[in-house]
Amino acid sequence: MAKVKTAHFCQNCGHESAKWLGRCPSCNEWNTFVEEVISKGKNEVTIFSKSTKRTAVPRAIHEIQDIPQQRIQMVDLEMNRVLGGGLVPGSLILFGGEPGIGKSTLMLQVAMQETNHKILYVSGEESEQQIKMRASRIGELNETCYLLTETQLESIFKHAEELQPTMLVIDSIQTIHTDIIESSPGSISQIRESTAQLLRFAKQTDTPVFLIGHITKEGSLAGPKVLEHMVDTVLQFEGDRNHVYRLLRSIKNRFGSTNELGIYEMLGTGLRQVENPSEILISDNKDKLSGSAIAATLEGLRPMLIEVQALVSTAAYGTPQRSATGFDLRRLNMLLAVMEKRCGFKLGAKDVFLNIAGGIKVSDPAIDLAVVASILSSNADLAIEKNVCLSAEVGLSGEIRPVNRVDQRISEAEKLGFDKIIISKDNKGIKQENFKIEIIGCTRIEEVLKELFS
């Protein structure tokens, strides 16, 4: 009979202890340890058969052939971009997001679009009829997409070995359990052991595996922190419920950049890929309204133009309010201090509200100049021309600093029909004759204001 032992696990970070502790020594959280039963005996049964395994032997690094990695090109171009140019065989991908944001819908849509590949979609949360209902709403049914409603990992591997799919989707990892661990599904030890077995399956069979994961109320992925270290890629699906746009970001990626961004529009028939986000993030309002400026920004390798909106009003109460949506509040306070100290604008007694249109979050410092321009436009109630965009960083002394890859930003503004773009005069290698759009270089905020409001 297998020997049974118990251990205590922190439900926040997954730290293991032989006895109960009031405070976790790893994450310093209180009252998070829960006792779980672990069974690891000598009569363990292998999870999947030996026929699917590959035997590894030590080899000198110079003897290993340099073979280009053949990625699986998916139909979903936004997913391809975020993954770094395609799906790597044998990769393990953790896909997280808030409840109801559209994780299962996106993964089912991706599975149904891959008509040239055999996909196994495993659901531990919904029945076959529920998934079929959603699939019928999304689009045409794919004959190469197979559904399996199962939560036992051993059974999943058995079906995967018989079907031999090109891609495996697990929805969700918190519902999967293995007989090796005697704790309940969703516990720290079950998530860790199930993920370890799926990782071994992915590497030994060259089958890419998607794990849909829940998140906690703090916004982090549920389960032990080691879960994010075990997988190859961590994708975050986010968005404002009041907006129809959803953003796909890469938090960790062993096979590509983590700066890429995928944008989807939530429709009744599923999620639509947004190939040109600039057109949806800029308002079509032709009226000249104060407090609005257009910024040329970059998300990974993708240039796009966004609308920055500001509202400045006299503080109704003693303490002025500072509010920012989609922009770092601390950076907003810094820019307000620069405008007051270096440029002489009295904003200390006024409320300032800032919003990035479209419900997206931007951390690119190149939108600093557009933030400053929109705030001063609202303060003076003077509108900025719709055919002007800005792309530059603002320093603490009020200088206009250059940003990287400004030529891509200029090309994007020119493609969308803008007549002028204001950048830093210190940007090197930018020649006016290479562009039809008028390029204006400035070194101080005062020069920018003369170009905008003169």
Q: Retrieve residue 101's tokens.
A: 């944001």
| Residue 98 marked ligand-binding | yes
Report the Cα 75 to chain-centroid distance in Å. Answer: 19
| Residue 90 marked ligand-binding | no
| Residue 103 marked ligand-binding | yes
Q: What angle do CA 117, 119, 122 make, to 5 degrees?
A: 175
Give the Cα separation of 263 and 57 in Å (integer).
43
| Residue 97 marked ligand-binding | yes
| Residue 99 marked ligand-binding | yes
| Residue 104 marked ligand-binding | yes
Q: Are strands 292-299 and 302-314 parallel, antiparallel or unpaired?
A: antiparallel
Give the Cα separation of 194 and 122 in Å (integer).
14
| Residue 360 marked ligand-binding | no
| Residue 417 marked ligand-binding | no
- Which parts are annotated binding residues? 97-104
- Which parts are annotated binding residues for ATP? 97-104
